[in-house]
Amino acid sequence: MRLFIISIATLTIFLFAAGANAQSFRRQFTVPTTNGGILVEGFGNCATATCPAVVILSGSKGFAAPVYDEIGQKLRAAGLNAYLVHVLSAADLDAIATASSARARIAYYARRLPNWTSAVQDVAAYLAGQPRHGGKVGALGISLGAQIASAASVGQANIDALVLVDGGFPNGYSQPVRSLPPLHLIWGSADRTFPLSMGRELQRTAQRRGGPVTLDVYEGAHDFFLRSGTRSAGAAHQSAAEFLAKQLSR
């Protein structure tokens, strides 16, 4: 019995250390933006000297989920340099979490959207200017991050490919959409927050603008992409990585 207890204690320490190491390979730095600095976390350079960059924008709960490490490493394995962009500040995350209603959250998003999109554009421009990225930057946005990424990508030369997961243009978005980068939509079949019909309408909008657009639908609800270890999430991560690697290598 004593040997078993020691083994469990040792295993616990090992797992704790492994979890800490999983976080330690993120390299943190701050990118100057119009409205102040934005924290960015990188997953290290890919295996070649020049690798396109991909900015990852989280949903309304930020980057706390361990699955973001999996996503970052999946992109890195595909020959991309992945960056978590903390465009949602701690104050933003707190305001969203404590909002009194869905209407209040949407109103908060509307107030903050100009700053968020400006920050994403500034980070994309910064990364595009780094020689190791070859001037190529893609964006991967999830839920609220997809809304920010879509608004930040309209007519922008610094974002060369766009993946939106279970989210599109923000409610009430009124700016003219004259052009979008090559677009890949990833959607959960049972999404009730942003129903699949919204994804199909976004696909038609992009098609009318003449840009390449694809839509992949996976079994799952709104948060399926962030469910680590599931078949749908793994396939969707691979799909996003392959699309971005293909588009950004051109």
Per-residue pLDDT reduced to its tens digit, 142-159? 999 999 999 999 988 899
Q: Specify the pLDDT at position 28.
A: 95
pLDDT of residue 14: 35
Q: Name the amino acid, one letter, at 130.
A: Q
HEC profile for the chain?
Answer: CHHHHHHHHHHHHHHHHHHHHHHHCCEEEEEEECCEEEEEEECCCCCCCCCCEEEEECCCCCCCCCHHHHHHHHHHHCCCEEEEECCCCHHHHHHHHCCCCHHHHHHHHHHHHHHHHHHHHHHHHHHHCCHHHCCCEEEEEECHHHHHHHHHHCCCCCCCEEEEECCCCCCCCCCCCCCCCCEEEEEECCCCCCCHHHHHHHHHHHHHCCCCEEEEEECCCCCHHHCCCCHHHHHHHHHHHHHHHHHHCC
Q: In the prediction, which pLDDT does 96 show?
A: 97
Angle (nearest 5°) at CA 149 between 220 and 227: 25
Question: What domains lie within the chain, and their CATH numbers?
Answer: 27-248 (3.40.50.1820)
pLDDT of residue 120: 97
Predicted local confidence at residue 209, as pLDDT: 82
pLDDT in tens, 49-101: 899 999 999 999 999 999 999 999 999 999 999 999 999 999 999 999 999 99
- Token reading at 202: 């976004």
pLDDT for 1: 38
Residue 110 makes CB contacts below 8 A (sequence gap 6+) with 170, 171, 172
pTM: 0.89
Q: How far apart are CA 212 and CA 136, in angstroms?
A: 17
Q: Give the per-residue pLDDT at 93.
A: 97
Low-confidence ranges of the chain (pLDDT < 50): 1-24
- So what's the pLDDT on residue 24? 46
Q: What pLDDT shows up at residue 177?
A: 78
